[in-house]
């Protein structure tokens, strides 16, 4: 029986809006093309690429105009996706200990978030009050506990707070990684308040929450914050967790082995981002005014320390764009003014992490290399822990940048991978050709990738399926939607497709410590142990007892 796979567009019953913010120019950015220009350069099948129609434009609080594209074409969904607005999974399915905290006693409380520092109990009370007051827009969960037993709270702010809705990206903000960098903690609380109180009055905020799930962790290091000192612009009191570890040096590293003992806070974050496929992330810090993008480390960090040599990712154009989106939307950051005379000034308020100073075990490199999540480090205040009366100024400086950065998750390409029967293919490995950091599909076959306008080729691999490549184009006006069908591979004489095995060979180091390994039968019966999936180019590998004992990467 011939199965007809019909086009999948989007899940919601309402008109779905798409956002694009005009890309900032940079030397490494792809040329800007119109849809018509790109269509003339590349042949794309109508049932593979969907371009929404009907653009609308509005001005947001006297800021730059942002163009949105909407579509009324909902397409025909596979059977399992027919129920619009269906609950697909709750946070408790994905996060340890994660039931959501609905406190009836807070339901009718008049919530007023003051511009002051909120210690752990005060922060917890505010978060619980907010989720009780706005149950249709917020959900509160804990991903784990600090060394001293404080919850690592995350607030989801979305029109779909309790469940993932197919086709909508998850993004995150993490603040207060260093306990004495306190501004980030407070502006993220202010962001939560701003989003929920403006949902019914601001069309843009409503669009953002209707189409995005925003996870906000105000404090990753609550223990460090409790021993920090207000007014201390410098110094390290409270920077580390209660066991004396720098949490932004505590993640596995792509370039060097990180021997630092894993801490409860970093282990909780690692488990969190393993279970929820985040598309975009911002890590908030203090002590400078700059947006810093990967890589934070390099093959020769000692040399880089003195030479200020950049260590660039395959997605350098995208990372520069994301950093510029934040810096140019910030009240001061893009001016590149140094916080102190002894500090480096940053052109347009952005820097490559390793070019600024290299570090091992950083969170943004881990997000990108291990899971394909594009994270940028956002240094949001010159003073690490300024007096509380200065907090309104910091909020106003960062407010629009925080909002516009989130919207970048709706740029580039997204789509679905199915088999010929219309079933989603989970954990298919995808990679943009010439950009050797990969990403995976969710349990619903979804994928996302932030890209700038241009022509691209997507490579798709999945166990038991014939590998596939697909050409597509990205334009500035809206994201491109791809619907991809994979065909089952024919296996005979114990021969696994050579291309699939090559994929296992060159995609990755991250599987060494994080992912499952599998045994492949190749070339008439000889066994080869390799990673099940991955996302970065490897060469000169030595295999011993089923593990990589040594590995190098060509630069």
pLDDT tens digits, 424-465: 999 999 999 999 899 999 999 999 999 999 999 999 999 999
With residue 414 as reference, give the H or E element that holds it: strand 413-419
* Average pLDDT of the residues in 367-393: 97
Q: Which of 462, 486, 510 is at the close of a domain?
A: 486
Mean pLDDT of the residues in the chain: 76
* Residue the block writes with tokens 């792809």: 30
Q: HSE of 438 in the Cβ direction (CA atoms, 13 Å)? A: 27
Residues 32 and 124 in one domain: no
The structure tokens listed for 250 are 């505590």
pLDDT at 326 over 60: yes
Q: Give the per-residue pLDDT at 166.
A: 92
Residues 225 and 260 in one domain: yes
Q: Give the per-residue pLDDT at 436.
A: 87
Question: What residues contact 323, with CB distance under 8 A and at least 6 apart?
Answer: 291, 292, 293, 349, 350, 351, 376
| CA 403 – CA 191 distance, rounded (Å) | 8
Q: Count of domains in the chain?
A: 3
Cβ density class 223-243: b for 16+ within 10 Å, e for less = bbbbebeeebbeeeebbbbbe
pLDDT tens digits, 5-53: 333 333 333 333 333 332 333 333 333 333 334 333 333 333 333 322 2
Domain annotation covers residue 228: yes
Residues 20 and 142 in one domain: no
| CA 288 – CA 382 distance, rounded (Å) | 4
| Residue 437's CATH number | 2.60.40.1120
Q: Which residue has the higher pLDDT, 13 or 110?
A: 110
Residues 403 and 417 in one domain: no
> Domain range holding 350?
91-410
Domain annotation covers residue 10: no
* Average pLDDT of the residues in 50-76: 28
Residues 78 and 95 in one domain: no
Q: Give the per-residue pLDDT at 270.
A: 97
Domain annotation covers residue 4: no
Residues 22 and 151 in one domain: no
Domain annotation covers residue 1: no
| Residue 382's CATH number | 3.40.630.10
Domain annotation covers residue 267: yes
Q: Is 379 a catalytic residue?
A: yes
Q: Give the per-residue pLDDT at 340.
A: 79
Residues 193 and 121 in one domain: yes
Residue 349 CA from chain centroid, whole number: 21
Phi-psi category of 465—alpha, beta or left, where left has phi over 0 and alpha has psi -120 to 50?
beta
Domain annotation covers residue 163: yes
Q: Give the per-residue pLDDT at 380.
A: 97
Q: For residues 310 and 22, is the Cβ–Cβ distance under 8 A?
A: no
Residues 417 and 403 in one domain: no
Residues 470 and 404 in one domain: no
Residues 448 and 535 in one domain: no
Note the helical H segments in 344-497. Answer: 353-356, 363-371, 391-407
pLDDT at 77 over 60: no
Q: Give the per-residue pLDDT at 342.
A: 64
pLDDT tens digits, 126-184: 999 999 999 999 999 999 999 999 999 999 999 999 999 899 999 999 999 999 999 99
- In the three-class reduction of DSSP (H, G, I as helix; E, B as strand; rest coil), residue 449 is classed as strand
Residue 468 Cα distances to 186, 414, 447, angstroms: 46, 16, 15
Q: Give the per-residue pLDDT at 112.
A: 85
Q: Which of 410, 445, 460 is at the close of a domain?
A: 410
Q: Which one of the listed residues 375, 379, 408, 446 is annotated catalytic?
A: 379
Domain annotation covers residue 133: yes
Residues 449 and 507 in one domain: no
Residues 335 and 474 in one domain: no
Domain annotation covers residue 9: no
């Amino acid at each position: 029986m011939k199965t007809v796979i019909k086009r999948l567009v989007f899940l919601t019953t309402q008109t779905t809006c798409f956002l694009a913010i005009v890309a900032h120019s940079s030397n490494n950015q792809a040329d800007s093309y119109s849809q018509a220009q790109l269509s003339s350069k590349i042949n794309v099948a109508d049932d593979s690429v969907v371009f929404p129609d009907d653009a609308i434009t509005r001005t947001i609080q006297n800021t730059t105009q942002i163009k949105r594209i909407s579509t009324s074409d909902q397409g025909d969904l596979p059977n399992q996706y027919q129920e619009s607005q269906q609950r697909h999974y709750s946070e408790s399915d994905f996060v340890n200990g994660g039931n959501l905290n609905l406190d009836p006693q807070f339901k009718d409380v008049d919530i007023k978030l003051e511009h002051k520092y909120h210690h752990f109990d005060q922060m917890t009370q505010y978060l619980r009050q907010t989720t009780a007051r706005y149950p249709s827009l917020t959900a509160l969960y804990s991903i784990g506990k600090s060394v001293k037993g404080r919850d690592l709270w995350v607030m989801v702010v979305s029109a779909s707070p309790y469940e993932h809705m197919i086709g909508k990206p998850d993004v995150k903000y993490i603040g207060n990684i260093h306990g004495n960098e306190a501004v980030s903690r407070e502006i993220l609380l202010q962001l939560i308040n701003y989003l929920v109180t403006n949902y019914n009055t601001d069309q843009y905020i409503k669009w953002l929450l209707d189409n995005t799930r925003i996870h906000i962790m105000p404090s990753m290091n609550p223990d460090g914050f409790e021993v920090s000192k207000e007014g201390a612009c410098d110094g390290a009191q409270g920077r580390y967790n209660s066991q004396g570890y720098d949490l932004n040096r505590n993640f596995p590293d792509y370039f060097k082995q990180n021997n630092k003992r894993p801490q409860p806070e970093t282990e909780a974050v690692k488990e969190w981002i393993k279970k929820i496929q985040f598309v975009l992330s911002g890590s908030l810090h203090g002590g400078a005014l700059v947006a810093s993008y990967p890589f934070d480390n390099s093959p020769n960090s000692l040399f880089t320390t003195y030479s200020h040599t950049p260590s660039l990712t395959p997605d350098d154009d995208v990372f520069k764009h994301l950093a510029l989106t934040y810096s140019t939307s910030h009240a001061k950051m893009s001016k590149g003014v140094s916080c102190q005379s002894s500090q480096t000034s940053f052109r347009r308020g952005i820097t490559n992490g390793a070019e600024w100073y290299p570090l091992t075990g950083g969170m943004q490199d881990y997000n990108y290399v291990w899971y394909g999540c594009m994270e940028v480090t956002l240094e949001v205040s010159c003073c690490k822990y300024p007096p509380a009366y200065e907090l309104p100024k910091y909020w106003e400086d960062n407010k629009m940048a925080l909002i516009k950065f989130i919207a970048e998750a709706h740029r580039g390409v997204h789509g679905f991978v199915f088999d010929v029967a219309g079933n989603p293919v989970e954990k298919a490995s995808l990679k943009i050709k010439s950009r050797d950091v990969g990403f995976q599909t969710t349990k619903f076959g979804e994928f996302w990738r932030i890209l700038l306008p241009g022509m691209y080729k997507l490579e798709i691999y999945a166990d038991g399926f014939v590998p596939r490549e697909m050409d597509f184009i990205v334009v500035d006006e809206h994201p491109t939607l791809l619907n991809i069908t994979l065909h089952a591979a024919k296996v005979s004489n114990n021969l696994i497709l050579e291309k699939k095995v090559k994929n296992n060979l060159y995609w990755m180091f991250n599987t060494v410590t994080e992912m499952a390994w599998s045994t492949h039968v190749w070339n008439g019966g000889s066994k080869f142990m390799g990673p099940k999936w991955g996302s970065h180019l490897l060469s000169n590998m030595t295999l011993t007892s089923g593990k990589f004992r040594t590995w190098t990467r060509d630069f």
